[in-house]
Amino acid sequence: MMQSDFFSVFIWWVILFSLGIFSFPLTWRILGKFFDSGYGVSKIIGILTTSYLVFLISVLHILPFGLSSVFGVFGLSIVANFIIYTKYKKEIKEAFRKKIKVFILEELLFFAGLFAWSYVRAHQPEIRGLEKFMDYGFINSILKGEFLPPADMWAGGKPINYYWFGHLMTATLTKLSGIPGAITYNLMLGTILGLTLSSAFSITTSLLANTFGGKRGRAVIVGGILSALLLGLGGNFHTPYYVLKNGYEKYWYPDATRFIGYNPDTNDKTIHEFPSYSFIVSDLHGHLLDLPVVLTFLALLTSFILFSKERGEKLLITLGLGVALGIMFMTNTWDFGIYLLVAGVTIAIHNLVKKKLSWDFIFETSKTLLTLILVGLLTTLPFILNFSSIAEGIGFVRASTPFWQLAILWGFPALLTTVFVINLLRERKLNESKVFILSLLLAAWILIFLPEVIFVKDIYISSHHRANTMFKLTYQGFVIFYLLSGFIIVSVLLSIKKFFLKLLAVCSSSVIIASILIYPYFGVKSFYGELRNYRGLNGEAWLEREYPGEYKALLFFRENVAGQPVILEAAGDSYTDFNVISAYSGLPTVSGWFVHEWLWRGTPDFPQVRANEVSQVYLTSSTEEAKNLLSKYKVSYVVVGTFERQKYPMLNEEKFTQIAKLVFTSGNTKIYQLIY
């Protein structure tokens, strides 16, 4: 099993390596002045360009989403990059010659993230629990469907009304690799960690090299590795504080993300997650799938502010920033507004320093931001045309966070900011890189404090009114702070000249970094155990063990049913094992997870009406009533299995024998095909 898994990891890495290499000319064109010439971001550029072109041709019904279109787009991408390569052949070859050691280090960082997290996931690979059914359902609906937008697997006849581009990226890589989705789901988690490590290294080393030139090569590398590790694996001060306070054995890792409103217990329940927690619980949700896009945006923003001097160069990077914003809208919609704010703060401060408070400052800043918005909206327009916003406006918060809780959650960023500012005041040297760092720190603190003032209204308004707003904004605040950590730590340490003070600073910073990096130890141990029971990367194996009838029914649908006809399952509650067949097959059912459909449709009426009618179909003894309801939703197959018998104890199965043909039986699980 381990041997076959390693082969899957290797094939997956070959695909990603190819995407990175073949996309390097384009990456070099926009990030060529980076310390690594942009190599650490090139895989993401390859994934995004390929996935977006696949998205366009499918959503515009030019070609269906399939193997030929995916490989065709990949081929076009190679041709486009080859044209760039032929134009800048000498410079690109020179970049490879000079930076080959850095490229190898970044490749090792990426592979370490991919391999290490794939190995961890293989000890509990189940695509089950939390929101994994939803995320896997999105991927399978894309893989099973013909054109985009994908069908909502839990609302037959409707498209998904949520952000799903990250799931399209996963589906695209699945097609390219030929590896089953049950394995690529877990490989994608390792991929995101690997991309986080390599791109964080790329950005931080570029910031440090721009500040210190070629004089501090080792320090630049150390700073890049620090940022990569802290961003990908770091936690907050909650872990060291409560481990010291209550003891090692009592620490429960989710508490670091469910602290405000829970300890002490109040009516202000909030969420403040971060990447390390996301990797541990392993939901392929929008905020995690968007992490590589976010880091690409920050890389482009760094290039725009620090490295692009010529008008044509700035225009090219501005277009890239706009496209990245548009992809963010489709991957994790909140991030469109968040990173427009980040861009606004950094670009405004950059222009203010250069042009002072003048009409030229206002014009240049407005022009750039309007271009970003326009390009972003044009990029995401085909998505917006098939999407209805689920936000219900903005309100003022009804509670605020006690200072001591803010100090525990954001003590590390506060320490970084304070030390950095004090060091700037002491040095009295404010170069372009440090102004940029200050502007990013300011933007990140705005994201932390906005949920203390306002919140976006959604379906959680009654019990967790600001939870989702805090989650989405502070997650990105965390990303920015921890991305900058390596730069701040190394630059401050390099500025200290006295040996004793430097030794003290190194020791104290080492203790703080270690206290931040212990979080995965508790999380992995709690979620995955001692990593002694290797179970493989197949995320569907649990279904065969626990629900063999449903598993065989799933295989029946995969092997015998083309397209995406509507099936009927029991209408399930969110976060349960219900609707596993629709999630795993990509075949839409009439009504799936209730709360999720409520969120996506903006009203509980939509899933409630459907759930009631599904109950009627299973419970009624009238063949006519059942037939009319099944016809209403164009149902082709009815599942009668474990979950249907559990949810509807008075289920009337006899009528199905009169209006449908029994096409599958396994134990207590049956599938009926409707006869119209």
Question: What are the CA-CA distances from residue 344 to residues 329, 335, 483 (Å)?
Answer: 17, 14, 19
Q: Is the pLDDT of residue 604 over 70?
A: yes
- pLDDT band for 460, please (50, 70, 90 cuts): low
- Rounded to 5 degrees, what angle do the CA atoms 411, 414, 415 make? 85
Cβ neighbours of residue 384 closer than 8 Å, sequence gap 6 or more:
329, 377
Which pLDDT band, with edges at 50, 70 and 90, does 309 fall under? confident
pLDDT digits (tens, 9 = 90+) for 374-398: 999 999 999 999 888 776 788 899 8
The pair of three-digit structure tokens given for residue 561, joined into one six-digit string:
């049913």
* 340-379 confidence digits (pLDDT tens): 999 999 999 999 988 888 888 899 999 999 999 999 999 9
Closest CA to 28 of 105, 94, 111, 113: 94
Q: From the CB of residue 520, how many other CB atoms can be counted at a distance below 10 Å?
A: 19
Q: Is residue 1's pLDDT more than 80?
A: no
DSSP for 45-92, written as a single string: HHHHHHHHHHHHHHHTTSS-SSHHHHHHHHHHHHHHHHHHHHHTHHHH
Please say if the pLDDT value at position 458 is more than 70.
yes
Tokens of 577: 């094992």
Angle at 275 between CA 332 and CA 262, to 5 degrees: 95
Whether residue 400 is predicted with pLDDT greater than 70 in this model: the reply is: yes
Q: Spelled out in words, what is the top-level CATH class assigned to the domain 544-674?
A: alpha beta
Residue type, 22: F
CB 202 within 8 A of CB 36: yes
Whether 215 shows a pLDDT value over 80: the answer reads: no
- C-beta separation of 199 from 41 below 8 A: yes
Mean pLDDT of 489-500: 91
**Nearest Cα to Cα of residue 392 among 335, 464, 461:** 461
- The H-or-E segment that residue 673 falls in is strand 669-674
- Count how many residues are written for the chain: 676
As given in the structure block, the two tokens for residue 498 are 């006295």
Query: What is the rounded CA–CA span in Å between residue 305 and residue 307?
Result: 6
The token pair that represents 556 in the structure block: 């029946």
pLDDT value at position 214? 66
Cα dihedral 610, 611, 616, 618 sign: positive
How many Cα atoms occupy the beta-carbon half-sphere of 113 within 13 Å?
Answer: 27
Under 8 Å between Cβ of 581 and 587: yes
pLDDT above 70 covers a percentage of the chain that reads 99
Q: Over the stretch 47-77, which tens digit does the pLDDT of each residue have?
A: 999 999 999 999 999 999 999 999 999 999 9
In this prediction, residue 669 carries a pLDDT of 96
* The pLDDT of residue 312: 85
Position 499 scores a pLDDT of: 87
Tell me, what DSSP letter sits at residue 252? -
Distances (CA, A) of 286 to 23, 138, 622: 24, 11, 43
Q: Specify the DSSP element, H or E, that contains 454.
A: strand 454-456
What's the Rg (C-alpha) of the chain?
26
Residue ranges per structural domain of the chain: 2-528, 544-674
CB atoms within 10 A of CB 625: 15
137, exposed or middle or buried, with CB in 10 Å at 0-12, 13-18, 19+?
A: buried
Alpha carbons 134 and 583: distance in angstroms, whole number? 7
Q: Which residue has the higher pLDDT, 477 or 428?
A: 477
Greater pLDDT, 505 or 460: 505
* pLDDT winner (highest mean) among 125-139, 354-368, 523-537: 125-139
pLDDT band at 462 (very low <50, low <70, confident <90, very high): low
Entry pTM: 0.96
Q: How many CA atoms lie within 13 A of 482 on its CB side?
A: 30
Mean pLDDT of 128-151: 97
Indicate the helix (H) or strand (E) that contains 635. strand 635-640
Give yes or no for residue 324 having a pLDDT over 80.
Answer: yes
Q: Are 314 and 304 in contact (CB under 8 A)?
A: yes
**At 162, which helix (H) or strand (E)?**
none
Among 54, 126, 2, 68, CA closest to 584: 126
332 phi, psi to nearest 5 deg: -155, 85
- In this predicted structure, the answer to whether residue 586 has a pLDDT above a threshold of 90 is yes
Residues in a beta bridge with 396 = 454
Q: What is the mean pLDDT of the chain?
A: 95
- At 615 the pLDDT is 97
Number of helices and strands (H, E) in the chain? 29, 6
Q: Are 171 and 64 in contact (CB under 8 A)?
A: no
